Each structure stands twice: as C-alpha cells, then as structure tokens.
Amino acid sequence: MTKVRVLVGTKKGAFICTSDEARQKWTIDGPHFMGWEIYHMKASPVVPDRIFCSQTSSWFGQVIQRSDDGGKTWDTPGSAAGEREVMFGMEAGESNKFVYDGVPGTHKFYDGSDVPWAFKRVWHLEPSLSDPETVYAGVEDAALFKSTNGGKSWSELSGLRQHTTGKDWQPGAGGMCLHTVLIDPTNEDRMWVAISAAGVFRTDDGGKSWKPVNRGLKSNFMPEEEAEVGHCVHRIAFHPSKPSTLFMQKHWDIMRSDDSADTWSEVSGNLPSDFGFPIDVHSHEPETIYVVPILSDSEHVPVDGKLRVYRSRTGGNEWEALTRGLPQEHCYVNVLREAMAVDSCDSCGIYFGTTGGQVYVSADSGDNWTAINEHFPPVLSVEVQTLK
C-alpha cells in the first residue's frame, strides 16, 4: 500500500506528516527538536527511512541530525551524545572538521590552512541517488560539502568556493546561501548548484571543477546586467527524465534552459508577478511546472492578498491560477524557496508550506487544495516521500 511522508522544517522544530495515497487524512508527528530552526530535511532515495536534518540555532549553532527509522529516533553522526564542540563532521583533533567556535551562529571549517573559514548554517541537504552513505550539504556563506559515511565526517568540494568568480559573489537578502543541489540521475558526476546571489554553477566531474552557467540571465540591480555571476537565483528544478531541461525562479523572472543550463530564456508569460521563491515540476509531466508569485522583492505577500499557485502545462509562458481551497482574500503569507515539493503517486500531489504555518496539499496536480495543518510554526522547507 502506498504511503506518503511529508517532511516539514519550521522555525520551531521538525514535523513528519503521513497519509495513504488518498492524502485526505494525516497523522502529524512532532515537533522534533522543538525551538530549533529546521532549515531542511531530506530522505535518502536508496534507504527511505534514512532522513538527514539540518538543525540550527542562533545561539547553539549548527547540528546535522540523522534518523534511520523514518524519524522515530535521531542521532548526531560523528559526535558524542550531548556534545556541543564538534557540531558537524569529524572527531575532535582531526585537521578537516567543522566546529562550533563559541560565537552564536558561526562555525569554523578547518581545511589545513592557518586561518579557518567560518560559515553560518546548512541550508540544504541532498542525499546521493545511489549510495545511502553519501550526502551533500550546501551552506552559508556559499560552499558545498560532501560526506561519504552518512554524515560522520565531511570534506569540502573546494573547487566551487575557490572558483575565480568567487570574489564577485554577494549575499542576497537571506544571506549568501547555497540553497539548491540537483544531481543528474543519468550521471551522478554532473550536478547543479544555485547560490544567492551568485547564480547557477555546474560540475561534470563530481565537484572537482565548476562552471558558471548563467548566460541569458539579466539582473538590473547589477552594474553589468548580463554579468557571468552575481544573479540572485531563488530556486532551480528539473524532471528526472529530462535533466537537461531546467526551470528557474529568479529574483524577478521565470527562466528555462534546454541545454543543461548553458543558456536560459524567460518564460514568465502571463503571470501577475514573476517574483517569487519556489519552483517545482510535476512528477509525471516534465513540461508542467508550478510557482507561487508574490508582489515584489520588498513586499513578500501574495498579489492582491490572494494565495494562488500558478501552473504551466507548456513549460512556461502560458500560466493558470490554481485557487480552489486556498484563501482568496486578506492573505499575507509567503512561500519560501525550499517550501514546495511534489510526490510521485499515480495522481501527482503538490505540497507547499507558508510563513503563516499552513501546509497545503493538492492530490490532483493542483486543481483542489486542502490543509494538512494550518497551525505549524513558520515553514522553512517541505520535502515529500512516496513509499510503496
């Protein structure tokens, strides 16, 4: 029997929601890590009960948690129970490790240099498509790390941070965060990452070297609108059957690439606003995409106070508003970049969470919406598993 598991990260803990394929009645488990910000949770596609979780606090810093039983119990790989010194990575005394340095919200990565490099938090966790022990972590300030032992130790894929364009990267309003990691299912050495505000980068050799892939992006807040880097990319997505076709929600503009991100073209079409944060792709229809427009970069609320998801069945340009079951007056919530996901049930389910604490689901590709819960803390991320 098919079961759906929704992983919800919030500003005050993690929640796990489960239902059958009808997706009408939900069991809610949590909060886990009450009071902590959960920036992201994601499960291994190889071992579905293995879930990685980014737990962070402005005072205690960053912890990576892992569950091997679907979220029933959790532990911190590589650290002794209750230990706060080694928050993320190798055992104390080794030369290549993360540590919390005592300053609230900061950490140091010791890479063998005389001066350790500080980072703030882990924004995104991306498990390998084939190996349950391998997982990637995107952090702020922008860098990419990899663990090959289930989160016990980590090493930086330093070719990205040390790219020649690195001097031109700037933080967006939410920080200089590496918030998206996409792995090509046909070739796991090929990955894309998105950084705010730098743009999209691709590796074809497993992270040794990286190439900026932002041709076609225009950002009028930069001195050179079509510069190689510096663009504020909010989210990128693709369908696993067509990894060379990518879709982007940018800081203004919905973009599309059909050549693995070498070039981009705008597909904002008839949207009421092309500013927003999330974007996702229907699990069975590679040309069906979803966005949640908001008013502007300074006014993070729905246009006209109406919460509307927009769907394009043509890969962009032609968009329709999906409103049935969503509040259509006096609604002033936002939907953050990690807070939309899809399931792979026969009738594709679409999910999103809001800064007002609502998590909505549509079990029919967006035509009708219901609330899983309307009273979570502000939602930072939503991920979905389809368990068969």
Q: DSSP state, 378?
A: P
Domain assignment of residue 51, yes or no: yes
State how many domains the chain has: 1
Nearest CA-CA partner of 119 in 102, 134, 135, 98: 98
Report CA 22 to chain centroid distance, whole Å.
Answer: 26
Domain assignment of residue 14, yes or no: no
Residue 174 — very low, low, confident or very high, per pLDDT cuts 50/70/90?
confident
Residue 58 — very low, low, confident or very high, per pLDDT cuts 50/70/90?
confident
**Identity at 49, one-letter amino acid code:** D
> Kind and range of the H or E element at 342?
strand 340-342
Q: Is the pLDDT of residue 286 over 60?
A: yes
Domain assignment of residue 323, yes or no: no
> Kind and range of the H or E element at 159?
helix 158-161
Residue 113 — very low, low, confident or very high, per pLDDT cuts 50/70/90?
low
Domain assignment of residue 66, yes or no: yes
pLDDT of residue 154: 85
- Residue 140's alpha-carbon distances to 107, 175, 305, 344, in angstroms, are 10, 7, 32, 31
Question: Could you tell me the residue range of the domain that residue 82 belongs to?
Answer: 38-127
Residue range 205-248, pLDDT digits in tens = 999 999 999 999 999 888 888 999 999 999 999 999 999 999 99
294-317 burial code (b ≥16 CB/10 A, e <16): bbeeeebebbeeebbbbbbeebbe
pLDDT of residue 95: 36
Strand 211-212 relative to strand 199-203: parallel, antiparallel, unpaired?
Answer: antiparallel
- Are 250 and 196 in contact by the 8 Å Cβ rule? The answer is no
Residue range 121-156, pLDDT digits in tens = 999 999 999 999 999 999 998 999 999 999 988 888
- Percent of the residues in the chain that have a pLDDT greater than 70, as a whole number: 90
Domain assignment of residue 123, yes or no: yes
pLDDT of residue 173: 87
pLDDT of residue 352: 98
CA distance 292 to 6: 19
CA distance 96 to 110: 5
344, with CB counted inside 10 A (0-12, 13-18, 19+), is middle
102-133 burial code (b ≥16 CB/10 A, e <16): eeeeebbbbeeeeeeeebbbbbbbbbbeeebb
- Are 110 and 99 in contact by the 8 Å Cβ rule? The answer is yes
Residue 98 — very low, low, confident or very high, per pLDDT cuts 50/70/90?
low
The SS3 assignment for 314 reads coil
Q: DSSP state, 45?
A: S
CA distance 273 to 67: 39
Q: Is the pLDDT of residue 111 over 70?
A: no
The SS3 assignment for 215 reads strand
The mean predicted confidence, pLDDT, of the chain is 91
Q: DSSP state, 232?
A: -
Tell me what the mean pLDDT of segment 170-192 comes to. Answer: 95
Q: DSSP state, 263?
A: B
- Are 383 and 358 in contact by the 8 Å Cβ rule? The answer is no
pLDDT of residue 349: 98
Nearest CA-CA partner of 347 in 23, 9, 11, 18: 23
Residue range 73-93, pLDDT digits in tens = 999 886 543 343 333 433 333
The SS3 assignment for 41 reads strand
Sign of the Cα pseudo-torsion (269, 271, 275, 280, in order): negative
CA distance 254 to 45: 28
- Asked which of 60-64, 307-311, 351-355, 378-382 is least confident by mean pLDDT, the reply is 60-64
CA distance 5 to 16: 7
Tell me what the mean pLDDT of segment 156-184 comes to. Answer: 93
- Are 93 and 78 in contact by the 8 Å Cβ rule? The answer is no
The SS3 assignment for 49 reads coil
Residue 172 — very low, low, confident or very high, per pLDDT cuts 50/70/90?
confident
CA distance 93 to 19: 45
**Identity at 272, one-letter amino acid code:** P
